[in-house]
Structures are given as C-alpha cells and as structure tokens.
Amino acid sequence: MPAKRPSVQVGDPFMEKVLIECCLELYAAQVVEGIQDLGAAGISCATSELASNGDGGMHVWLDDVLLRDPTLNAGEILMSESQERMMAVVAPDKLDEFLAITAKWDVETAVVGEVNDSGRLTIDHHGQRIVDVDPRTVAHEGPVYERPYARPAWQDGLNADSISATDAASRYARPGTGDELRATALRLLASPNLASKEWVTDQYDRFVQGNTALAQPDDSGVVRVDETTGLGVALATDANGRYGKLDPRTGAQLALAEAYRNVATTGARPLAVTDCLNFGSPEDPDSMWQLVEAIEGLADACRELGVPVTGGNVSLYNGTGEPGQVDSSIHPTPVVGVLGVLDDVARATPSGWREAGESIYLLGTTRPELDGSAWADVEHGHLGGVPPRVDLAAEKALAGVLVNASRDGLVSAAHDLSEGGLAQALLEASLRFGVGASVALAGITERDGVTPFEALFSESTARALVAVPRSEESKLVDACVARGVPVVKIGETGTEPAAAAESGEALDVEGLFTLPLREADEAFRGTLPRIFG
C-alpha cells in the first residue's frame, strides 16, 4: 500500500556490488559516453546534471522508467532516491553491447531518453510535457539563500562552564588513586560510544572476496584494490558532536583531524575527504551559524592538510525544541571521512600489538584538555568549556612519521589517541590481539606537566601510540625528531611475568593499577549485546 512506502531509501549492499562490477565492465568495454549516479533528488538531479555538463540537450520519457510501485506520480518518480541506480549516456551504435553487459550482470535496464541539440531538458509523462528548462538553471545556477545567522546567545555561557578548569575540581570529582583510575578506565571502556562495535559489524561478512586487509576494530578499514601490486585504500570516518556543540568550527576540524590521523596510523597517505553534515534548522540563526562555522572550518583545515573534499551530503532540520535555546536541536555533528592510499596493503599497520617485548612510544604532546571528553560525559554528564586545541601542522607532521614508519617497518602497531584518551587507546591496542602492556606515566607527567589522571584521560589531539621492535627504536626516535614530533617511551608490550602469573595478560600502569584483559574484554565487548539483547 502507498501508506506503507518507506520514507527513507533502503540500500541493498549485494545489488550495489553487482552494479559496481557491471559499471566497471561497461567502462572497460568503452560503451559509455557519460554516467551519473542517482543520489539526492534522483532522476531530476541526474538528468539535469548530465544535460548541463554536456553541450546539447536531453529529452526523457518518464513513462519508461522502471518502477517498483506503479502508483507513483510524476513528482515522486522524478524525486525518488531509490538506491543502486545509475544513468548512462550511450551512443546508439553501442547500445546493444551496453544492454548485453547489463543483462550479463542481471542489472535491470531501460532506455528512458535521448540526447539532442535543443539545449533544453524536456521530460514527458503520459503525453504531457512536465519539464522544459535550461538544464544549467537547475544544476548550476540554483537560488542562493542568504539565511541570517549569529553566534547563539547561550554560546558564551556554555564555553565558560569548563570541567578542565582548576576550580572545577571540587564540583566534578577527579579520580586520583589507582583504584579510582582503574574503575574510571573500565567504565569508559564499557560506555556505548567507546565499547566494541563488533556486535554490529560481525553481523555481515566484511571479508568477502578476501580483499579486506584491516577492518573494525582497527583504526581504519583497508581494502586491496590491485592483487598484482598490492595497491590498496584505507578509509576512516569520525565525528564528535560534543566538540561540535562547544565550537562547531573546531569540532569540524577535529573530526577531519581524527579521520586523517586514523588513516595515517595504517600507513596510508591521506588524499581525499567526504563529509556528512548533520545540523538543526538553517532557518534558525543559531543552527545556521553552526553550519557556516563548521563548513568554513572544514574548508580551511582541508586546505591546510592538502586533502580536497570530493563529495558529501547534509542532514538538516534536526531540531525539536524552541529556536534560540541551547537544546533546540541536535549537537552539530559533521561526520568526516578520509581516504588514503597504500602502495602495498601487506604492510598495513594494525591498531594493536601482536608480540610481547616491543617498546611502546607515545607520539605527541598531552595537555589538560578534558572539556567535551568521554570522561566528562560518562562520569559527570557534563558538556561545557572548549574542545581540545587543533594543531593541523602537528597532525601533518605526525601523519608523516606514521606513514614513513609503516613503510620502513619501524612500527608493528599504531593506534591514534582520541575519545577516552591514552587509557582507551592502551586498552584497545592490548585487546586487539590479546597481548597486554606494562607502562609508566612518569615520562608524560614530567615532560608535559600533567597529572596521571590527565595523562590517562585527556583528549589532546595529534597523538598516537606505536609499538616498536627493539632494533628499530633509534630510527623511530630519529624520524620523530626530524619532523618535530614529540616522542616519549612509556613502556613495553606484554605483561610483566609476576603480574601475568596472577591474572594473565593485563594492562599494568606502574604504581597505579593492573587491569586484566579478560575483565577489560568483558566490559568492552559486552555492552552492545547487553543493550540490544
């Protein structure tokens, strides 16, 4: 029934794969003059963009479009965003070959129009002309909205409410003893945002065809694209709505920086960006200001990092409250994806250590940055202050070290530091292959002037953990010094024999606590099954 039509398009991953393979064969056979995916606004967008990008015109018979529901009206057919569809322009003498290839892949195909020299986009439906426009006016010369926007009246108050400030210590208890730090690390590890997502990702085969080199829970997914050379791509997406709420410009840059860093930890060179911008109503000056700040911040950061935005989308009007209030809409949440390239996926660096006896180094500087952190959220339900400082030059230098160290075999594991800070990174790296770690915080606390609590839970950026074979330590340190990346040795992989004899592999933080990996694993992997059943 029409009333039961889904309002949100439903994707079919298998059909998407078939369509991709079909398109690749079409390109190899050189039977396509032009092609456009059907995404936002469906046929109306694809036809106008194809016609506008050419130098002629286009006529479309809407009656010939293949329909899942025959009751759709003309407007619905034009605007439907049903997935797994492409629109191709094919020369008449190559049409039979084109149709033979789509039939081979069992991809439904219909001829719905033709290119002409009218300079117009015309569309007919049931014998009536329903569209007759200059395609450039639709695809490239659309109206530009000048929405009013201004910094929200509540923004200053939100930023003043810092949990990092010294005078906040009495209001928001900070763990100090070893037992308190241990319990805090365990609670953060089990929180829904930081817990393992394997309950979700294990429900589908992410290793189909054997070309997946790394997958969740590694920092980035890595896929082989050329079996002969080992060429591959790494992909990571990141977002933090809490940071976006505190400062949408900085929040967007932090999302980019984290995805960029995650790609670099695998050894891939970050090359391109995509994004999904999730905000409130652009008709609300507060939300419009957030959107403008995020876009401008993201653009500035992409220019500085040298990674172009190749595409993206938006989700707006995500608000339910009265405009002008601090809780009028969702947190500004720019989701940023970064793609990187590896010359050989066999050298991709995993996010956890496999062997005991290797040295663990922390790259980057730790500052007492706890506003918007996982600790503030999980332990105190607090959101206020300013997000961690963005240092794109430091991110670029760190990425250079990580990429070269992976290529040259200087590191056997690399894990970025982000939500949950050093404690979360150490636990995730230890749980990856079930090999613990023995670390000391003195090198961090003395060099950076932070407390053990801040060393463990600060979310300062441009930082990463690496595991280094003993034979490569001096080379790794030299590489960091050459690029101006702060580096400090904090421990080694594997649990000390005495501690291991008592509890098995564990994360041992010298003088503070020991957390057995079996206990950490139960907390990390048990959250989503417990919530969803």
pLDDT, tens digit, 9 for 90 and up, residues 47-105: 999 988 888 899 999 999 999 888 999 999 999 888 899 999 999 999 999 999 999 99
Rounded Cα–Cα distance for residues 11 and 413 (Å): 35
Give the pair of three-digit tokens for residue 77. Answer: 């057919």
CATH, residue 246: 3.30.1330.10
Rounded Cα–Cα distance for residues 13 and 473 (Å): 44
Query: Does 146 reside within a domain?
Result: no
The 10s digit of each residue's pLDDT in 515-526 is: 999 999 999 999
Collapsing DSSP to helix, strand or coil, 515 comes out as strand
Q: What is the average per-residue pLDDT within 247-276? A: 98
- The answer to whether 131 and 219 have CB atoms below 8 angstroms apart is no
Rounded Cα–Cα distance for residues 16 and 313 (Å): 19
Give the number of domains in the chain.
2
Nearest one of 313, 483, 327, 328 to 403, comparing CA atoms: 483
Domain boundary among 85, 114, 139: 139
Whether residues 193 and 104 share a domain: the answer is no
Rounded Cα–Cα distance for residues 243 and 158 (Å): 12
Whether residues 118 and 174 share a domain: the answer is no
Query: Does 150 reside within a domain?
Result: no
Rounded Cα–Cα distance for residues 159 and 182 (Å): 29
Nearest one of 465, 206, 223 to 342, comparing CA atoms: 223
Instruction: Pick from 159-173, 314-328, 438-452, 492-506 the range whose average pLDDT is largest.
Output: 438-452
- The answer to whether 22 and 105 have CB atoms below 8 angstroms apart is yes
Q: Which residues face 487 on adjacent strands?
A: 363
CB neighbourhood size of 91 (10 A): 12
pLDDT reported for residue 61: 94
- 490 vs 226, residue with greater confidence: 490
- The answer to whether 347 and 265 have CB atoms below 8 angstroms apart is no
Whether residues 437 and 349 share a domain: the answer is yes
Q: What is the average per-residue pLDDT within 472-496? A: 96
CB neighbourhood size of 426 (10 A): 27
Whether residues 258 and 179 share a domain: the answer is yes
Domain boundary among 106, 139, 172: 139
- The answer to whether 507 and 426 have CB atoms below 8 angstroms apart is yes
Max CA pair span of the chain: 84
Host domain of residue 286: 155-532
Q: Is the pLDDT of residue 439 over 50?
A: yes
Rounded Cα–Cα distance for residues 318 and 506 (Å): 43
pLDDT reported for residue 1: 44
Q: What is the average per-residue pLDDT within 218-239? A: 91
Collapsing DSSP to helix, strand or coil, 411 comes out as coil
Any residues with CB less than 8 A from the CB of 442 and at least 6 apart, and which?
Answer: 510
What band does 165 get if pLDDT is binned at 50, 70 and 90?
confident
**CA distances for 460 relative to 224, 363, 365, angstroms:** 32, 11, 7
Q: Is the pLDDT of residue 169 over 60?
A: no
**CA distances for 230 relative to 227, 413, 432, angstroms:** 5, 20, 24
Residues in the chain: 533
Q: What percentage of the chain has pLDDT greater than the value 90? A: 78
Whether residues 302 and 412 share a domain: the answer is yes
CATH, residue 102: 3.90.650.10
**CA distances for 338 relative to 7, 260, 271, 524, angstroms:** 29, 6, 7, 26
Query: Does 520 reside within a domain?
Result: yes
Query: Does 145 reside within a domain?
Result: no
Q: Is the pLDDT of residue 206 over 80?
A: no
Q: Is the pLDDT of residue 142 over 80?
A: no
Whether residues 119 and 204 share a domain: the answer is no
Cα–Cα–Cα angle for 409, 413, 415, rounded to 5 degrees: 130
Whether residues 473 and 497 share a domain: the answer is yes
Domain boundary among 76, 104, 139: 139
Whether residues 390 and 272 share a domain: the answer is yes
Query: Does 99 reside within a domain?
Result: yes
Q: Which residues face 115 on adjacent strands?
A: 58
Q: Is the pLDDT of residue 355 over 60?
A: yes
pLDDT reported for residue 492: 97
Q: What is the average per-residue pLDDT within 232-246? A: 97
Q: What is the average per-residue pLDDT within 292-320? A: 95
What is the 3-state secondary structure of 236-282? EEECCHHHHHHCHHHHHHHHHHHHHHHHHHCCCEEEEEEEEEECCCC
Whether residues 32 and 135 share a domain: the answer is yes
Whether residues 473 and 368 share a domain: the answer is yes
pTM: 0.88
What's the mean pLDDT when you consider all of the chain? 93
Q: What is the average per-residue pLDDT within 374-399? A: 97
- The answer to whether 448 and 365 have CB atoms below 8 angstroms apart is yes
Whether residues 405 and 513 share a domain: the answer is yes
Any residues with CB less than 8 A from the CB of 250 and at least 6 apart, and which?
Answer: 243, 297, 386, 387, 390
Whether residues 174 and 228 share a domain: the answer is yes
